[in-house]
Structure 1
Amino acid sequence: MTSTLARNYQCSCGKPVFFRNSSCLSCGSALGYVADEGALRAMRPTQAPDRFHLDGNPSVTYRRCQNFSSAIGCNWLVRDDGGTTAPLCLSCRLSRMIPDLSYPGNGELWRRVEAAKRRLVSHLLGLGLPVVPKADDPQRGLAFDLLHSQPGMPVMTGHATGVITINIEEADDAYRERARAQFGEPYRTLLGHLRHEVGHYYWDRLVAGTEWLAPCRALFGDDREDYAAALKRHYTQGPVQGWQRRYISAYAGAHPWEDWAESWGHYLHLRDTLDTAQSFGLVADAQWLEGHERQEPSVSPFKPSDLWREDHPTGAEFLTLLHDWVAVTCVMNEMSRAMGQPDFYPFVLPAAAVAKLHFIHCLIDAHVRGALGAEPEVTAAWGAATVAAGGPAEVAA
C-alpha cells in the first residue's frame, strides 16, 4: 500500500503551522520544509552563516533554498554537504525555465505557480513516485517550463517528453475563470493543471513499454488513436455522447491519453485531500493500512465489482479510500454552499471511472513495491502536439 503524507504540522512550541510557512507566528522560529521527511520543521541557527539544524537534531545541517530570497519565497530546505550541494531545492530544480521577471506581474504569477508545484512535488514524493530533475536524468527526468505568452506567441499548457509547459497566466484568477467558462469546465485550478500534466509524464514513465500498457489500453482505450484529430473533434463537436457514464470529466472522453491524465489528476486530488483530512482528524485513522479491521459503512456507493480487479490485494483498502472520499466531499460541498462558493468537488464518480482510479492505485502500489519491472525508454509518442514554445523573453531558471 502506498504511504500517506501528513499535512498537519506543528512548530516545536506546539502551535500549528502550515505547509507554506517559513516562520512560526507564535514563537518566531524559522521553519523549513524537509522534502525527504515530508515534514515542516523548526530550525535553529548554527555558527556558520545561513546554516541551520533541525530543532532537536544538531547533527545534520541545512540551508534554505536559494529561491527563499526570490519572488517565490520558497521555504524548502537543502541538506548541506559541505559546499557541493545544489543551491536550489528539488522543487525549484525542476523549473527549467522561469518567466521574464521584468514583465509587470510575472513575479506574483511565478510565486503562485511555484507554490502549487511544491504542493504537487511533496505529494508525489509522499506517494513514493520518482521525481528526478531532467538536468540529472535527461532521458527520464522531469522539468517545468513556466512561461508567459507574448504577442503572437501564445503559450499552451501541456507536456512533451518529460517537459511540462505551464502558461503562468493560469495563476491569474480572472484569466483562469474566463477560460473555465469558455470551455464549460466545472473545475479549473492551477494545482489541477499540474496534476493533470504530470499524469502524462507518468504515463511515459510507468506505463509506456511496460507490462501495464496492454491492460491500460483495455481500460482507457487505444492511445495510438490520432491525438490531434481527437482533440480537434472534441473542440469542434463537443464531448462524446454519454460521457457522464464512462469518464471522470467531459475532457477525459477526448482521447485515451486525456482520460488517463484526467483520472490521474483526480486520483491525486483524492489522495492529497484525504491525507489532509486524516491529518486533521476529519476521517478515521489509518489503522486499516496495517491490516486492522475497520467497519464498513452500511450503505456503500461502490462495491468490489466496480474495481479494476476485484481480486487485487489493494481492493478493500481502495474501497475504503473511496468511501472516505465520498463522505468528505459531500460535507465539503455543503460547507462550500454554506459560504456561497462553488462546490468543492463538482464531479460524480461513475463506476467506469472508479475502475480507472483503482488501476492507477494498483500501478503506484506496484511501483512502490518494486514490482513494475524494467522502466521503459521515454519516447516522443505524442510530442509537441499540445505545447507551444516560449518566446524570447523567457529565460532559463
Structure 2
Amino acid sequence: MVPVAALRAVPLPKTPRAFSCACGRPIFFRNSQCLACQRPLGYAATRGSLLALEAAPARAGKGAWREAGVPVRRAPRYARCANLDSAAACNWLLDAEEVAAGFTLCRCCRLTRTVPDLSQPDAGVWWCRIEEAKRRLVSSLIGLGLPVKSRSEDAAHGLAFDLLLSPPGGPAVITGHADGIITLDASEADDARREARRGQLREPYRTLLGHLRHETGHYYWQLLVEPSPWLEHFRSLFGDERQDYAAALQRHYAEGAPADWGQRFVSAYASAHPWEDWAETWAHYLHLADTLDTARSFGLDGERVELSYERFGPDVIAGGDDPDVQGFLALINSWMELTGVLNELSRSMGVADFYPFVLSVPAVRKLHLVHRVIRGAA
C-alpha cells in the first residue's frame, strides 16, 4: 500500500519551474526555443510561466507574439525582450502594457543600469551568465510578491544593477549595495576566478546567484525594514545595525568569525555585522524558497523524502503573534529533509555538498523574520 503521507498533494510553487511546450515536450525556464518542435518560447513574468509562442495576426503590430494554441481572441499580445539577440540572450516577454509605455527591455533587463565593457575579453559571456542568474532571482522576487521596479520606473526606491569590470591596471570593482544600486564585479562570472576567491576566503559556497540574492537582501532591508515597525524585531534578533559597519568588516577580515558562529548565524560572514547577517539570512531564504519551488514543480517535496530528521517545532519561534507559524515550519522542515537527500546525491557524484550549511535555532528564528517581512510586503 502507498503510505497516506505519500498521497498528500505537493504544495503549489509560488514560482513554477516545470513547463510544457505546445507540442507536449518539457521546456525549461531559460529556454528561448523548444528543442523538439523549434517553437520560440518566452517567459511571461507576471504569469510566472514559460510560453510557447506564435506570431500574432498582422493587425497586432510588427513583432507581436501570442501564446500558441490559445484562441486568438483570448490570447494576450507580447513582445520579446530587445536583449534576446544580445549577449544577454534574454528570453523574457513584455506585455501589452509595457509595450504601450514605450519599453523595449523586459522587467528584468530594465534593472541593469550598466552592462560590462563588452570590448574586454569574455565580457559578453560573463554578462550572459550574470543576466541568467538575475532572471532566476527576479522571477523569484516577483513570485514572492515583492516590489520589483527599476530606477527609471521609481527614481526614489527603484533597484538598479551596475555590472562592472576593472579596467586593465585600474582599481578593483567592489561588489556591494548602496541606496538601491547593486554593483557587481562582472569577473565573478568567471568560474575559475570565483572558485579561487572562494578558496582564499574559505567560503563553502560562492555563486553568482548567491551574490545577487545577498545584495538584494541589503536593498530590501532598506526598503522594507528600516522605515517600518520591523526594525525593532530586527534589532532583537540580528543586533543593532548602528554599530560601525566599516570597523566591523575590518575586524571580521582581520580576525575571522567567532569560533561559535555556527550556533548563531547561517554563515561565517553573517557574523561580521547585523546588516551582513540579514543579507546572508535573506539569501538563504531565497535559496530554500526557490529550490523547494523547483522541487515541487516536478512533484517532489521534502515531506515525501524518506529521511528522518528531528523537525523544528513552534518552540523555536520567538514571539507568538504570527498566524503562519505552521506554514513557516512546514517550509523549513521540508527544506532540511530535501537538502539531506540532495547532499547525499552530491556525494554520490563526488562533488561538494549541495547545501553545505547547518541551521541552528537562532538562525531559524532569523529566517522566520525574513519570512514574515516578505509575507507582509506581499
| TM-score, scaled to structure 2 | 0.91
Q: How far, CA to CA, are the matches of 2:373 and 2:13 in structure 1?
A: 14
Look up the match of 2:156.
139
Pick from 13, 16, 20 the counterpart of residue 23 of structure 2. Answer: 13
Q: How does 1:133-172 map to 2 (within 5 A)?
A: 133-150=150-167, 151-172=169-190
Task: Compare relative contact order (CA 8 Å, sep 6+) and give the higher one, 1 or 2.
Answer: 1
Aligned pair 1:49/2:62, yes or no?
Answer: yes
Q: Percent identity?
A: 52
Q: 2:150–2:160: 8 Å Cα contact kept in structure 1? A: yes
Change (3 A) 1:2 1:198: farther
Partner AA of 2:64 in structure 1 = R
Give per-residue Cα distances to partners, 1:124-182, cap 9 Å, x unaligned.
00000000101111111000000011222210110000000000111110010010001
Alignment pair present for 1:314 and 2:324? yes
Q: Is the 8 A contact 2:42 2:80 kept in 1?
A: yes
Q: For structure 2, which runs of at least 5 residues remain unmatched after alignment?
A: 1-10
Indicate how the Cα distance of structure 1 residues 240 and 284 shifts in structure 2: closer, same or farther if over 3 A, else same: closer
Pair 1:75 & 2:91 matched? yes
Partner Cα distance (2:292, 2:257) in 1: 30
**Displacement, 1:85?**
2.8
Q: Given residue 203 of structure 2, which amino acid in structure 1 is its aligned partner?
A: E
Letter in 2 for 1:136: E
5 Å matches for 1:306-345?
306-345=316-355
Find the aligned partners of 1:34 and 1:298 in 2 and give their Cα distance.
Answer: 39
Q: What CA RMSD, in Å, does the superposition of the two structures yield over aligned residues?
A: 1.9
Q: Is the 8 A contact 1:2 1:364 kept in 2?
A: no
2 CA distance for matches of 1:312 and 1:337? 38
Partner of 2:206: 188
Q: Give me the whole-angstrom Cα distance separating, in 2, the residues matched to 1:361 and 1:353.
A: 12
Note the C-alpha offset of 1:301. Answer: 3.0
Structure 2 counterpart of 1:101? 118
For the residues of structure 2 that align with 1:310 and 1:355, how far apart are their CA atoms?
12
Task: Tell me the CA shift for residue 332 of structure 1.
Answer: 0.7
Look up the SS of the partner of 1:260 in the other structure.
helix
| SS of match in other structure, 1:187 | coil
Find the aligned partners of 2:50 and 2:15 in 1 and give their Cα distance: 12
User: Which residue number corresponds to residue 362 of structure 1?
Assistant: 372
**Stretch deviating more after TM superposition (121-130 or 327-336):** 327-336
Tell me the number of residue pairs that the alignment of Structure 1 and Structure 2 aligns: 359
CA distance in 1, matches of 2:316, 2:255: 30
Q: Once the 2 structures are TM-superposed, how far is the Cα of residue 83 of structure 1 from its aligned partner?
A: 5.2
CA distance in 2, matches of 1:161, 1:4: 28
- In structure 2, the CA distance between the partners of 1:250 and 1:213, relative to structure 1 (3 Å rule), is same
| Structure 1 residue aligned with 2:363 | 353
Name the TM-score, length of structure 1 as normaliser. 0.87
Higher helix share: 2
